[in-house]
Amino acid sequence: MNSHRLWDIFCTVIDNHGDLGVCWRLTRQLLAQGQSVRLWVDDASALTWMAPDAHAQPHLQVLPWVDASQSVVLKSLMPADVWVEAFGCTLPEAFVAHGVATHPQQPAWINLEYLSAEDWVPRMHNMPSPVMSGPAKGWTKRFFYPGFTADTGGLLRETDLLERQQRFDRAAWRQKHAPSLAPGSLLISLFCYEPAALPQLLAQLVGTPHHLLVTPGRPLAAVQQALAGMPVHPNWSALPYTTQNGFDEMLWACDLNFVRGEDSLVRALWAGQAFIWHIYPQDDNAHHAKLEAFLEWMQAPESLRRAHRVWNGMDASEWPVLNSGALADWTACVQAARQRSIAQDDLVAQLRSLVM
């Protein structure tokens, strides 16, 4: 596992907190394990707050996607050992043609797929995919599916994650970011899209001991819109954009986390606190089955399943009341799932084993 490899990771940004977030976490972990990475991305603007020191990292180049089609750039590249297509993006044909012409042998070509707990994932994980046309005809890609069970590609997890959590001063973080929070009050983080149940949640919090931390971008805009129609507001404050470590610490500090997409779901799991996942919505409602499969893997109690369904617009009933009993059940469920996941090999360890 100490062998050095040069990795080309390609990312097209649909949701820069998700697509780029996953690719940056993968990049960070490869760098920490002595690897070299070229990260090709069509919009790297989110790295200015997600990873402000990215361009100063040794053994890393962050390159514009368009440069992968420029002959003058391609001629200057050292051949990589690994190509990673993140989330079904397609490598530029000029890049592939250059690789075919210059690589002494085919690099390990990985199609890094979306995370899912659905039962077909283990069957598809690690499957070869022959390239049938184009300059790389005759080469082979390999599907790599992250997942929650031992027969999948695992989850992104830093080797020092548990150590960082043990060093974390939760009380100091809460005092800094919610100084008016009374003992026994709930600290809640909100990172979401635009859930229909958001006004119900905000209304329910009014008059209860709590503080709501709202992340920037779409969550803040959704809260501001919902509050415009409310005569009395809950206790809340807006957070600035932060680094990935800063985001992790927010999840560790809170009693309940609302998260969205793929990257923050995994981070909420590692945090070990109760959470509600706002899954990325798809036009054909394919995300409904994906959410149900995750809740089944979680062995979620019925109250947690119902809350997820309401939050994700799958159930039109009222948002459930947040009480201490339900939150205790949710937290216990998350912590049990966390322990099952920690016992498995992490994604980078499995990926490196595959390409060695």
Among 328, 310, 327, which residue's Cα sits nearest to residue 319?
310
Measured in degrees and rounded to the nearest 5, phi and psi for residue 83 equal -110, 130
Residue 286 reports pLDDT greater than 90: no
Q: How far is CA 230 from the centre of its chain?
A: 32
183-210 pLDDT, tens digit each: 999 999 999 999 999 999 999 999 999 9
- Do 6-153 and 161-342 show the same overall fold? yes
pLDDT at 10: 98
pLDDT band at 284 (very low <50, low <70, confident <90, very high): confident
What SS3 class is residue 122? Answer: helix
Averaged pLDDT, 135-148: 96
| Tokens, residue 45 | 């603007």
Give me the percent of the chain exceeding a pLDDT of 90: 93
Averaged pLDDT, 301-326: 95
Count of Cβ atoms closer than 10 Å to residue 217 Cβ = 13
Domain boundaries, the chain: 6-153, 161-342
pLDDT band at 345 (very low <50, low <70, confident <90, very high): very high
Among 105, 111, 113, which residue's Cα sits nearest to residue 81?
105
Averaged pLDDT, 323-333: 96
Averaged pLDDT, 133-142: 95
Q: Which residues are catalytic?
A: 19, 262
Helix (H) or strand (E) holding 88: none
**pTM for this one?**
0.96
Q: If you average pLDDT over every residue of the chain, what do you get? A: 95
Domain 161-342 = CATH 3.40.50.2000:
yes
Averaged pLDDT, 334-339: 98
2-56 pLDDT, tens digit each: 589 999 999 999 876 789 999 999 999 999 999 999 999 999 999 999 999 998 8
Using alpha carbons, list the distances in angstroms from residue 292 to 20, 150, 188. 25, 20, 24
Range scoring the smallest mean pLDDT among 83-87, 103-107, 267-271, 299-303: 103-107
Using alpha carbons, list the distances in angstroms from residue 282 to 143, 278, 287, 291. 22, 12, 6, 12
Residue 356 reports pLDDT greater than 70: yes
75-114 pLDDT, tens digit each: 999 999 999 999 989 999 999 999 999 988 999 999 999 9
Dihedral Cα 220, 224, 226, 228, nearest 10 deg = 180
Give me the percent of the chain exceeding a pLDDT of 70: 99
Q: 140-144 and 128-130 as β-strands: parallel, antiparallel, unpaired?
A: antiparallel
Residue 1 reports pLDDT greater than 80: no
CATH topology of domain 6-153: Rossmann fold (3.40.50)
pLDDT band at 281 (very low <50, low <70, confident <90, very high): confident
